[in-house]
Amino acid sequence: MSAPAPSSVSSELAARLATIVGEARVLARAGELRSYESDGLPGYQLRPALAVFPGTREETIDVVRALADSGTPFVARGAGTGLSGGSLADGTVLLGLHRLRRIISIDGDNQRAVVEPGVVNASLTRAAAPFGLHYAPDPSSQTACTIGGNVAENAGGPHCLKYGVTLNHILALTVLLPSGEIVALGNGAGEDEGYDLLGAFIGSEGCFGVVLDVTVHLARNPSAVRTLLADFTSVNAAAHAVSAIIASGIVAAALEMMDAPSIQAVEASIYAAGYPMDAAAILLIELDGATAGIDDDVAQVVAACRAEGAREVRVATDPADRARLWQGRKKAFGAMGRISSHLVVQDAVVPRTRLPEVLAQIQQIGERHGVRVCNVFHAGDGNIHPNIGYNASDAGESARVHAAMSEIMAACIAAGGTITGEHGVGLDKLAYMDALFTPATLGAMCALRDVFDPMHRANPGKVVPVHSCREWHGAASSRAARESR
Amino acid sequence: MSDTRSESVAARVREARETRTALRIIGAGQWLHAGAPCTAERALGLRDDGGVVAYEPGDLVLTVRAGTSLAEIDRVTRAEGQWLALDPHGTNDGTIGATIATASAGPLASAFGTPRDHVLGCTVVTGAGDVVQAGGRVVKNVAGFDLVRLVTGAWGTLGIITEVTVRLRAVPQRELTLVAAISTDGELEAAWRWVRASEVAPMAAELVSPRLATRLGMGATQALVLRFGGNAALVDAGVRSAATLGRCTDVDMRVWSGLRASEPADGFVARASCLPSEVVPLWRAVASEAERAGGFAHATLGRGVVRCVVPLDEATTNASNGAAGEAPARFAGMIRGTIDAPPRTTWIVERGVGRDWPTPPHDAARRALSARVRAAFDPDDILNPGILIT
């Protein structure tokens, strides 16, 4: 029962939306919509029929109800920093939520905050700082991305290794279903009972509804932090050091790897962090917690790196030094953007013990297709981000990049991994869903989507391939027909 | 990868579906009176469907069949210096499948989270008889909609969990358990402040009522039990910090298994939860009531959760009001909100004996969503019908 996507939005609907949010907050001209044709992954460009930007909770509710009344599909969007093409609207309505940026309350005693979906990730942490608290999930785009987008994608980040992903930090949501109904999920003041619809909603990539407010858990700032930079002459040695650290039982706050091309791109940019230019790979390792015992853990990690052949391990305790080491990592994709006109960033996860072998395979795949693969990633989670800079106007090069990426994904699946650890499926990973999941599993996902959005109006065509849902609905109705006989 | 054992469960579900026979899904069978009364006619036991499917210690990930006991998981993982940091109530004979299905958590949840934070993937047989592979075997995964969270805590009503992949942790280099007697209101306030603010966070901090302290051999006063883990310097610092609470005594680690096993096989068990800042008044109201009714209470202070246990005899004797899962009358009143408990308390009844169970305070839209989820995954209402009130 998918609603057909209208090729355009009726003038009546456009006028109704304008009365809700004001003329200036409804964009319909091609030139105005250009900024909304892509997200952080420039390989996809799709133009919405119209973009609407409510400024308050009430306006958002009225807009979604107007869309429901007219049966119009829509795509919610935060800051548009996503890396899966998930927030692109193809001839439908784009619902921008970045103006809903009120921090409603911060309860320092109970380590929680209630925020609107358009609040920028890093601003929440800034607002929590006077309480000695921070919001733990820290995607690399944290200075721009919104909490609403983080909830939709179940966003991660370097520090998720120790602190967990978005799912582990959300206590409650108020959700506006695509039908316009409002529902409270989770419990911001105690335990929750019944089906974990909060958990099901987080990471649903805008297919289940729109978030009106988010109750988050805030983590206490650690009293001691150490950031280590370990320098290796081979990627393989660095990957083995990762395994050794994990096996030691020390839970690093973050454990990141960058390979030579990534290091060189960063060091040639304004984000230069002082990484060794001749290293084949570096590990950026952060340990945090109580002051007592932390230096014993540092010593153990340093020893593990040296045992795997690290040339040097630098330990930074000064906040300015630590920030500089991190800047290079967090801005790595930006630094690579200087080198090529387009950059495709992949996101996959493999079992941590398989990292050395999968990284070697990725290297070979890149060589075979004549593309240069760089690796900057969350090694401690086995969450890799192979990325390739290229020129999208060169059709031959684009085809080679695409072929290499498909092989890399196949290698990750074959190693027992998954096709996305934190960027989401969106449009970009749709083609891999059949390789990863059985038809029955995809059918169950379709059934779950139907619960929240039976008309498939919210972010249509994303996450689960449309054909799986058709097959599922086909099978379910033939089953029903068989049983009714 | 073909999983013949899950397929055989699926065949049994399809057969039950054809004959409209409701199934009672059973792990070790230790908690048959947990959850609201279930009206199923036929038992489907999973205890014999146990064993390790895959274990790569270097990945800190373990895949087991759902019938595997927690004791077996403990044995297998400790041999590699690892553990599953979950301590649900009951004994280690309980199965991992039941632990995930009921989302049962114990004192360790304050440091390591509840089952939803540990499960990476599971195989589930839905009420339609489909074998669904939810999640995966890696520690980070956002591929598709989150069916893992959906079935965790669903009490088997959306599907029968047949295989589970969990995240493991390395066993701490050192562990230590301390008990501090908490005799006065001032000491209770100080204990609460310490738990909220201590630089060295314990792995567990559980407040126990006098009757429970007695049972656990820790003297007859209310006490705070602390579990520290980490490297030697960190544990030492924790011990020094805890000394500010008054006289602390080292106790055997077995106090934690004693706590888990302290609950009678039959009885009334409910959890009251609130904002952590409000847990002290909640504790005062609820723990004294549990003791008066012949039972006991314990609280995970950092999570704001108080667990009340009243053995069956006392529960039934006191249940003259016959309500809210046959709680002792005053608990039933608190759950219904007719007797003063601190405001903004959430009550979850885990076990009881009666049929009048409290309804969760969800809005109409959430109740409708829950009903639709149930209808989508168990269209004929044959999986543990009645056990979970949504």
Label each residue of chain B as H, E or C: CCCHHHHHHHHHHHHHHHCCCCEEEECCCCCCCECCCCCCCEEEECCCCCCEEEEEHHHCEEEEECCCEHHHHHHHHHCCCEECCCCCCCCCCCEHHHHHHHCCCCCCHHHHCCHHHCEEEEEEEECCCCEEEEECCCCCCCCCCCHHHHHCCCCCCCEEEEEEEEECEECCCEEEEEEEECCCHHHHHHHHHHHHHCCCCCCEEEEECHHHHHHCCCCCCCEEEEEEEECHHHHHHHHHHHHHHCCEEEECCHHHHHHHCCCCCCEEEEEEECCHHHHHHHHHHHHHHHHHCCCEEEEEHHHCEEEEEEEHHHHHHHHHHCCCCCCCHHHHHHHHCCCCCCCCCEEEEEECCCCCCCCCCCCHHHHHHHHHHHHHHCCCCCECCCCCCC
Tell me the C-alpha distance between A338 and A351, whole Å: 32
Contact B112, B169 (CB under 8 A): yes
pLDDT of residue B352: 82
Tell me the C-alpha distance between A121 and A128, whole Å: 11
| Higher-pLDDT residue of A341, B271 | B271
- HSE-up of residue B200 (Cα within 13 Å, Cβ side): 24
Give me the phi and psi of B48, to 5 degrees please.
Answer: -80, -10
pLDDT of residue A3: 41
Tell me the C-alpha distance between B10 and B14, whole Å: 6
Most confident of A108-112, A268-272, B31-35, B345-349: A108-112
Is the CB of residue B57 less than 8 Å away from at least one CB of chain A?
Answer: yes
- Describe the strand order of the beta sheet including B204-208 as a list of residue ranges: B248-251, B174-181, B223-230, B204-208, B296-300, B305-311, B267-273, B346-351
Contact A6, A89 (CB under 8 A): no
- Name the amino acid, one letter, at B40: A
List pLDDT tens digits, range B156-212: 999 999 999 999 999 999 999 999 999 999 999 999 999 999 999 999 999 999 999
Contact B383, B25 (CB under 8 A): yes
Mean pLDDT calculated for residue range B95-113: 96
Q: pLDDT band at residue B328, thresholds of 50, 70 and 90?
A: confident
Secondary structure (DSSP) of A192-215? --SS-HHHHHTT-TTSS-EEEEEE
Contact A139, A160 (CB under 8 A): no
- pLDDT surpassing 80 at residue B29: yes
Cite the beta strand spans of A317-468 per DSSP E.
342-345, 348-349, 373-377, 383-384, 386-390
Measured between beta carbons, which residues in chain B are less than 8 angstroms from residue A179? none
- HSE-up of residue A64 (Cα within 13 Å, Cβ side): 26
Tell me the C-alpha distance between B323 and A408, whole Å: 59
Q: What is the mean pLDDT of chain B?
A: 92
Tell me the C-alpha distance between A435 and A409, whole Å: 10
Contact B140, A458 (CB under 8 A): no
The full length of chain B comes to 390
* Chain A interface test: which of B138, B160, B307 (most A C-beta within 10 Å): B138
pLDDT of residue B317: 61
Nearest to B303 by CA among B90, B91, B106, B87: B106
Nearest to A420 among B143, B147, B237 (CB): B143
Cα–Cα distance list, A142 to A119, A125, B102, B178, B335 (Å):
11, 10, 35, 41, 42
> What letter would DSSP give residue A390?
E
Measured between beta carbons, which residues in chain B are less than 8 angstroms from residue A382? 59, 138-140
> In chain B, positions 322-381, which contact chain A (CB-CB < 8 Å)?
344-346, 348, 360, 362-363, 365-366, 369-370, 372-374, 376-377
Q: What torsion, rounded to 10 degrees, do the Cα atoms A188, A193, A196, A199 define?
A: 20
pLDDT of residue A392: 84
Residue B149's Cα: distance from chain center in Å? Answer: 15
The token duo for A49 is: 């029929």
Name the region of B97 (left: φ>0; alpha: ψ -120 to 50; beta: rest).
alpha
Query: If chain A, 485 residues long, is cut into consecutive pieces of 10 residues, what is the mean pLDDT of each piece?
Result: 54 96 96 93 90 98 98 97 94 97 97 98 98 96 96 95 96 98 97 97 98 98 96 94 90 95 92 93 96 96 97 94 91 83 91 93 96 93 93 91 95 97 95 95 97 96 86 56 47
Contact A230, A238 (CB under 8 A): yes
Tell me the C-alpha distance between B30 and B263, whole Å: 11
Measured between beta carbons, which residues in chain A are less than 8 angstroms from residue B150? 195-197, 199-200, 448
CB contact under 8 A, B233 and A249: no
Give me the phi and psi of A69, to 5 degrees please.
Answer: -60, -35
Tell me the C-alpha distance between A463 and A433, whole Å: 8
- HSE-up of residue A461 (Cα within 13 Å, Cβ side): 16
To which residue do tokens 């205890």 refer?
A: B47
The token duo for A179 is: 């039908």
The three-class DSSP label of residue A376 is strand
The token duo for A39 is: 């997200």
Q: Which long-range contacts (CB under 8 A, 24 or more apart) does B102-106 make?
A: B102/B31, B102/B34, B102/B35, B102/B153, B102/B155, B103/A196, B103/B152, B103/B153, B106/B204, B106/B259, B106/B260, B106/B300
Q: ipTM of the assembly?
A: 0.96
Cα–Cα distance list, B19 to A475, B12, B25, B41, B152 (Å):
20, 11, 17, 12, 27
CB contact under 8 A, B144 and A202: no
Tell me the C-alpha distance between B147 and B166, whole Å: 15
What is chain A's alpha carbon radius of gyration, rounded to the nearest angstrom? Answer: 23
Cite the beta strand spans of A296-366 per DSSP E.
312-316, 342-345, 348-349
Give CA angle at A372 (A370, A378), nearest 5°: 140
The token duo for B353 is: 């004996």
The token duo for B146 is: 């989150």
The token duo for B129 is: 């008889």
Query: H or E segment at A219?
Result: strand A219-220
Is the CB of residue B271 less than 8 Å away from at least one CB of chain A?
Answer: yes
Is the CB of residue B146 less than 8 Å away from at least one CB of chain A?
Answer: yes
Chains A & B: contacts with CB separation below 8 Å = 252
> What letter would DSSP give residue A476?
H
Burial A181-205 (b: 16+ CB within 10 A, else e): bbbbbbbbbbbbbbbbbbbbbbbbb
Is the CB of residue B239 less than 8 Å away from at least one CB of chain A?
Answer: no
pLDDT of residue A484: 47
Q: What pTM was estimated for this model as a whole?
A: 0.95
CB contact under 8 A, A249 and B171: yes
To which residue do tokens 């045992």 refer?
A: A307
CB contact under 8 A, B377 and A447: yes
Mean pLDDT calculated for residue range B59-81: 97
Q: What is the mean pLDDT of chain A?
A: 93
CB contact under 8 A, A437 and B113: no
Nearest to A307 by CA among A243, A252, A250, A249: A243
Is the CB of residue B261 less than 8 Å away from at least one CB of chain A?
Answer: no
Cite the beta strand spans of A233-318 per DSSP E.
254-259, 281-289, 312-316
The token duo for B112 is: 């390591």
> In chain B, positions 77-136, which contact chain A (CB-CB < 8 Å)?
81, 103, 113, 116-117, 126, 128, 130-134, 136
